[in-house]
Structure 1
Amino acid sequence: MAYDLQEQEQIDTLKAFWSQWGKLIGGAVLAVSLGFLGVKGWQFYQRSQAEAAAVIYSQLETQLQGAKLEQVKSTVALLQRDYPASALSSNAALLAAKLAFERNDLGFARAQLKWVLAQQGDEVVTAVARLRLATVLLDEKQYDAALAELSLPRPAAFDSQFLDLKGDVLVARGDSNGARESYKAALAKAAPDAPARDFIQTKLDSVGN
């Protein structure tokens, strides 16, 4: 096919352009395509991981309803091994720790709560784990360790609960004056309609206003 002079110049210009920039443009297009596929692949992987973790978590819920602690221990270990970054794994550890505490398996409860804290995840989950860990330590008569946990930063919404438990630890350690101040602070931080107010007040009355 014959080309007139203008068409030939356009073809030559296009050839020169692709000769100079073709590899760069092709590489850029490839990089964008691979990046897109990579994002899609990562999203698919995350979704599949979440679904797999949810299946195991549903098994855990059944085991918890039956209070089957040994099965719960195995299931939680599986979640923590295969899906440590999943929020379900931290939730599972909290629930397993609660059951273990009720069964007086304080060592396992403590280990689960420390695992949650080590994940450095959601601040609310972390605060719950720290509060429960302090409760376990109180039950183990590890008063200094419990107070150390209760002195660490937490969301303001948890202040009253932390101060209330601190009062309990101080009572157990024989520090009535310290407990009194802690209970007063817990009341000051509690919402006016908080169900725990009456209970905290009762404890405050027991150590003397």
Structure 2
Amino acid sequence: MAFDLQEQEQIEELKGFWRGWGRWIAALVVIACLGYLGMKGWHLYRAEQAEKASAVFARMETALPGGDLKQLKAISAELRRDYASTSYAPRAALLTARVAFDKDDYKLAGEELSWVIANAKEADVVAVARLRQAAVLLDQKQYDGALKEVSAEHPAAFDGFFLDMKGDILFAKGDAKGAAAAYKSALAKLAPEEPMRDFVQAKIDAIGS
């Protein structure tokens, strides 16, 4: 097929452009394809990890009613070790901490909660862990540490609960006036339909200020 002079010039320009930039364009296409495949692979990996973690967490739900702390601790450790990036690991740690607290194993409860605070990606989960950590420290009369937990940043939806816990800590320290102020602030933050409001009001009435 014959080309006229103008067409031949356009073809030569195209060849020149490809010689100068073709390799870079090809490389960018390859990088884009690899990026897409990598992202797709990552999502598949995450889904697979979550599925495996779910199976491990199911064992914890089975063990929970019996309160076998040794078994719960082992399952929590497995999730933290192998599936730390999933949402199951922090939830398992929270459950283990709750059972440990009920059994007065404050050391284990504190360790599990500290891991959640340091590693959980969900702000609500971290807030729950901080509240429970404050309760653990309060039971051990470590008031300054407990106050530090309830003074940490948290979602606004938890304000009432954090202030209520602050009131408990201050009252335990002997600061009835500070406790009453914290309880009143908690009451102002709690939603009207929140069942905890009556409990907080009862604390205010008991202090008498």
Shared fold, TM over 0.5: yes
* Distance verdict in 2 for CA 1:17–1:63, change over 3 Å: same
Give the 3 Å change call, closer, same or farther, for CA 185–22 of structure 1 in structure 2.
closer
Alignment of 1:47-196 (within 5 A): 47-119=47-119, 121-196=121-196
Structure 1 residue 121 displacement after superposition: 2.1
Cα RMSD between the aligned structures? 2.1
Shift of the 114–10 alpha-carbon distance from structure 1 to 2, 3 Å rule, reads: same
Q: Which amino acid in structure 2 is aligned with residue 137 of structure 1?
A: L
Question: Deviation of residue 152 (structure 1)?
Answer: 1.8
Q: Which whole-Å CA distance do the structure 1 matches of 2:29 and 2:189 have between them?
A: 58
Query: Within 1, Cα distance between the matches of 2:32 and 2:160?
Result: 52
More displaced stretch, 42-51 vs 89-98 = 42-51
Q: Identify which of 2, 18, 21 aligns with 1:4.
A: 2
* Alpha-carbon distance between aligned partners in 1 of 2:130 and 2:102, rounded to the nearest angstrom: 17
The range that moved more, 150-159 or 22-31, is 22-31
Q: For the structure 1 residues 23 and 98, does the alpha-carbon distance in structure 2 shift closer, same or farther, using more than 3 Å as the test? A: same
The AA in structure 2 aligned to 1:199 is: F
In the alignment, the residues of structure 2 paired with residue 151 and residue 16 of structure 1 have an alpha-carbon distance, to the nearest angstrom, of: 66
| Shift of residue 24, structure 1, vs aligned partner | 2.8
Take 1:201 and 1:113, find their aligned partners in 2: how far apart are those partners? 29
> In the alignment, residue 52 of structure 2 is paired with which amino acid?
A
- Whole-Å separation in 1 of the counterparts to 2:203 and 2:80: 39
Deviation per CA, 1:93-148: give whole Å up to 9, x if none.
11111111111111111111111111152211111111110011111111111112
Per the TM alignment, residue 29 of structure 1 is displaced from its structure 2 partner at its CA by 2.5
Matches of 2:161 and 2:134 in 1, distance apart? 11
Give the TM-score of the pair, scaled to structure 2.
0.89
Distance 2:3 2:145 in 1: 89
Q: Give aligned pairs, total.
A: 207
Of stretches 121-130 and 28-37 in structure 1, the one that deviates more from structure 2 is 28-37
What is the CA distance between 1:60 and its match in structure 2?
1.3
CA distance in 2, matches of 1:16, 1:158: 65
Cα distance between partner residues in 1 of 2:3 and 2:154 = 78
TM-score, normalised on structure 1? Answer: 0.89
Paired with 1:32 and 1:153, the residues of 2 have a C-alpha distance of: 39
Counterpart code for 2:34: L
